[in-house]
Structure 1
Amino acid sequence: MSHIELKTAIPGPNSLQVLERRKNALPSGLAKSTEVVVERADGAVVYDVDGNSLLDFAGGIGMINVGHSNAAVVNAIKTQVDKYIHTCSLVTTIEPYIELAELLNSLTPGDFPKKTLLANSGSEAVENAVNIAKYYTKRNAVLCFEGAYHGRTTLTLSLTSKYSLFKKGLGSFVTDVYRIAAPSMYRKIEGMTDEQYIDYCIKKFDEAMIAQVDPEALAAIIIEPIQGEGGFLQIPARYLQKIRTVCDKYGIVMIADEIQCGAGRTGKFFAIEHTGVVPDIICSAKSIGAGMPISAVTGKAAIMDAPHLGGVGGTYGGSPVACVAAIETIKILQSEAFLSRSVQVGETIRATLETWKDKYGIIGDVRGVGAMRLVEFVKSRETREPDMEVALEVIKDATSKGLILIRAGLFSNCIRLLPPIVITDEQLAEGLSVLEGAIARADEKRK
């Protein structure tokens, strides 16, 4: 049975009408990866306004790990809406806020008391985390990494890499932000073993603490354990341990941005759990809300308590409707059954992608952890020169055949695979077949 059913071209006539309205009503800077116009969605399937059904391998950029319209989440939202929608946590006490905080406090790594602040987006979570770290340390400097994506507010955009796509024309940016290269095992220095390259990266980190910023001036070091927008680069455990050691030595707050790589995507609730490194603060968002706008900053109680009374918070932070959705979502995400399924989905994708790497010369690398997987396209395997045009071509082709995808990577030359973990084996196989067909056609053109 095919789960992809195409009754019209993508986009069809009804979609074209809505896309024309979008063009006239929304700013042109609001990009879109596909021309799919959604009518409804369920599990891993998206239905458009022309009656087509497509498989979703983008998952709202990793926002839908438990699947579209998860019944437990939808029922929790409906029940809460019948009680009350919001009264503002700055005015009243909202019990779902407390329950969600307690749940996150219990799941976050670290044998120490923790507290959680809720907000509405990943950007807000990162902004709050950095500001809390500054308040706690009484310092201003922050260290971040090339390839990182942390958000679009002034502070988080200052931390974000990939200048031309996200930052061009939007400065000035926050001062006292320092950026160094993140380890990239695919583009390691030629002739080095993996361990030698990690040693080299650690040496460059130490040099940055002399050449760029004194560690005693740093309030925080923020890093994604697996870079999302940067191209699913897993930061080596030894490098993360180096950061942890430096933070301990100099009283720096270590912040892990788990907004895309967390929430059960990699087979652990948090990706950093694969390394044994315990950060001081973890930022969560995206899939913890199953599509509802909610984010969290969870960290050591002593750090989280640092700002003065009234120093944190916002009107919509901790919306009870979003909170009950997140509570039900996290109950699913942290379960052994879900995490096991994440590993299974990831292994199926990994095994399939490895065969593609052998067959298609336009593929330079396939990588990832758990069900967070990616294909990187290059013009030459020898030079590893990025090919962003082929990534676009493959997405356009695959979407026309019923598969929703989105790019990634510092050079925008990668396709990330973030299907809902609830995807069935049959749906996963069908989607991978569609993607391979698009890659095969692009590869043939370049022979």
Structure 2
Amino acid sequence: MSNQEILDQEQQHYAKAARIKYFDIVIKSGKGAILTDKDDHQYIDLLSSASATNTGHCHPHVVEAIKQQAEQLIQYTPAYFANEPEAKLTPRLAKLAPINGPVKVAYGNSGSDANDAIIKFARAYTGRQYIVSFTGAYHGSTYGSISTSGVSLNMTRKIGPLLPGVVKVPFPSPWYRLPNESDDDFSDRMFDAFKLPFETYLPADETALIEIEAIQGDGAFIKAPERYLNKVYQFAKEHGILFAVDEVNQGLGRSGKMWSIQHFPDVHPDLIAVGKSIASGLLLSAVLRRAEVMDALSAPRNLYTTAGNPVTTASANATLDVIENEHLVERSAKLGKQAKAFFDKMKDRFDFIGDVRIYGLNGGIDIVDPATGKADDDAATQLITQIFELGALMITVRGNILRFQPPLVIKETDLNKAFSIIEQAMQELNDGKLPPAKPMGW
């Protein structure tokens, strides 16, 4: 069956709420950074399954670990009994955690439930109710994580009321910067906006948690200013508020460091959420916490039948092997510099490129109307459509921002070919050669 035949059959029964509309393809197979659809068209993957396949598609070491474990034991719930791959993975993750002091681990099935678990443990440990998160955040789509998210109105339409006790403050996104405002003045002004709820209606001594993406993913790939994040962290410490970092999108080498919070050497979180690439895309997440915070809850208040099962944890152990043995963190940093140089060069050539934000093999490129400097969703959609037609898979976030997240194992020849495709599409947009955009995306 062709792409379209499969899609026609599927769409009779597939829920509209479960897929964001982009391109009409059915992924058949993948190897490294190359995807093949059911019509046997190949694409350079610049999305990594939403940053869930940092080790690339079907890495031989990961595949072999999954196969060997599946022949021994696929599932027995860790809610009752340990299994060997999980018991091996747990201390490895605890050792890797960017957290001071003893660390404990709790497993889930997705980044969403990892972020839900953070809320549970924070409330239990502090005895406080309020949770603070940021505009532009994407923490997931379970009721807790969707309540702390703030990236799209379409995430929350028709499903309220959401989790009570959640307060959102503005993330220091670059479009909030005033003309000619210095970095320090911008950070200080945004920190004043962060404090405003605490000075008017939100008691700090009743606040359990502040959770942030140190580098926002779906919110536009924005790294918080270091001065700002240090101030928020110190505020949390001064008021006995737990500080959590969502590493689901940006962790495991994506940003050129093992964890995105390592770009901020003075910040030491109490909890972090991990998911997506932890098991090369299999259904596994984890929350890493200071041991005393983890011990605030006992079973069965955060357990799941399939979380930490033998196959997913075997995949996670193999994934960590690949990240370590193939030096993917260092590779992300190195190739990220090449990516930044390329997109900066495109910015110098094309006036429809606004800001370029690249951190490792990871980032966002703003597409704007040259006349106004404002977001141009149509032009961004024209670009990703032509990039797709030329043989690379890229999507947008927030309508006008190109999402750049290739697998960390991508061959340099494929990366350079992707750059050539993007450059050609941008030149054709500049020359007015691209057809009108069809609506798609968030």
Distance 1:335 1:300, change over 3 A: farther
CA deviations over 1:154-173 (Å, ceiling 9, x no partner): 11111111342211112111
Name 1:367's counterpart in structure 2. Answer: 357
Q: Tell me the amino acid that sits aligned with residue 312 of structure 1.
A: N
Q: Among 128, 132, 141, which residue is 1:152 paired with?
A: 141
- Corresponding residue of 1:183: 172
**Equivalent AA in structure 1 for residue 80 of structure 2:** V
Match of 1:4 in 2: none
Q: CA contact under 8 A between 2:390 and 2:421: conserved in structure 1?
A: yes
Match of 1:25 among 13, 34, 46: 13
Q: Where do residues 293-308 of structure 1 align in structure 2 (5 Å cutoff)?
A: 293-308=283-298
Render the CA deviation track for 1:357-381: whole Å, top value 9, x for unaligned: 1111111111121111221111137
The CA distance in 2 between the partners of 1:212 and 1:65, in whole Å, is 42
Question: Match for residue 321 of structure 2?
Answer: 331
Is the alpha carbon distance of 1:88 and 1:215 closer, same or farther for their aligned partners in structure 2, counting shifts above 3 Å? same
- The answer to whether the 8 A contact 1:67-1:420 is kept is yes
Deviation at 1:184, TM superposition (A): 1.6
- For residues 41-80 of structure 1, the aligned pairs below 5 Å read 41-80=30-69
2:400 is the alignment partner of 1:413: yes
Partners of 2:383 and 2:204 lie apart in 1 by 44
CA distance in 2, matches of 1:178, 1:59: 32
1:243 aligns with 2:232: yes
TM-score by length of 1: 0.93
| Counterpart residue number, 2:390 | 401
3-state secondary structure, aligned to 2:238: helix
2:39 matched to 1:15? no
Q: Once the two structures are superposed, what CA deviation does each residue of 1:261-311 show, in whole Å capped at 9, x if it has no partner?
A: 111011211011111111000100011111211101001000011013322
Provide the residue aligned with 2:302 in structure 1: 312
Contact 1:269 1:333 in 2 (8 A): no
- Secondary structure in structure 2 of the residue aligned to 1:340: helix
Deviation at 1:421, TM superposition (A): 0.9
For 1:296, give the aligned amino acid. Answer: A
Distance 2:322 2:152 in 1: 37
Q: Check whether the contact 1:143–1:177 (CA below 8 A) recurs between aligned residues.
A: yes
CA contact (8 A) 2:42 2:391 kept: yes
Structure 1 residue matching 2:223: 3-state secondary structure: coil
- In the TM superposition, what whole-angstrom CA distance separates every residue of 1:67-93 from its partner, at most 9, and x where no partner exists? 100111110001111111111011212
Conserved 8 A contact 2:100-2:290: no
Does the 8 A contact of 1:61 with 1:406 survive in 2? no
Task: Give the total of aligned pairs.
Answer: 432
Unaligned 5+ segments in structure 1 are 1-12
**Are 2:99 and 1:110 equivalent residues in the alignment?**
yes
Partner of 1:5: none
8 Å CA contact retained: 2:51, 2:405: yes
Query: RMSD in angstroms over aligned alpha carbons?
Result: 1.6
Over residues 375-417 of structure 1, what are the superposed CA-to-partner deviations in whole Å (9 max), with x where a residue is unaligned? Answer: 1111137x431111111111111111111112113xx210111
CA distance in 2, matches of 1:308, 1:111: 22
Q: d(CA) in 1 for partners of 2:36 and 2:152? A: 35
Against the structure 1 CA distance between its residues 127 and 192, is the aligned structure 2 distance closer, same or farther, given a 3 Å change threshold?
same
Q: Which residue of 2 aligns with 1:10?
A: none
1:256 Cα offset (Å):
0.1
What per-residue deviation string (whole Å, max 9, x for no partner) do you get for residues 290-347 of structure 1?
1211101001000011013322111011111000101111222245722221112111
The separation in 2 between residues aligned to 1:153 and 1:242, in whole angstroms, is 30
Q: Give me the whole-angstrom Cα distance separating, in 2, the residues matched to 1:228 and 1:345.
A: 19
CA distance in 1, matches of 2:373, 2:203: 35
Give deviations 1:154-206, integer Å, cap 9, x for gaps. 11111111342211112111111111111123541122111211111122222
Equivalents in 1 of 2:261, 2:201: separation in Å? 26
- Give CA-to-partner distance per residue, 1:36-86, whole Å, 9 cap, x none: 211110000001111211110011011111110011111000111111111
One-letter code of the match for 2:100?
D
Structure 2 residue matching 1:78: 3-state secondary structure: helix
Give the CA deviation at 1:446: 9.3
Q: What amino acid is the match of 2:129?
A: N
Query: Residue 397 of structure 1 contacts residue 438 of structure 1 at CA under 8 Å; is this kept in 2?
Result: yes
Q: Does the residue aligned with 2:2 lie in a helix, a strand or coil? A: helix
AA in 1 matched with 2:256: G
- Please give the alpha-carbon distance, in whole angstroms, between the structure 2 residues aligned to 1:163 and 1:332: 34
1:83-162 to structure 2, matched below 5 A, reads 83-162=72-151
Q: Does 1:434 align with 2:421?
A: yes
- Alignment map for 1:192-231 (pairs within 5 Å): 192-231=181-220
Structure 1 segments, 4+ long, off by >3 Å, are none
Q: After the TM superposition, which of the residue ranges 70-79 and 308-317 deviates more from structure 2?
A: 308-317
Query: For 2:411, which of 412, 424, 429 is the aligned residue?
Result: 424
Tell me if the contact between 1:142 and 1:219 (Cα under 8 Å) persists in the aligned partners. Answer: yes
Aligned counterpart in structure 2 of residue 169 of structure 1, from 158, 178, 185 = 158
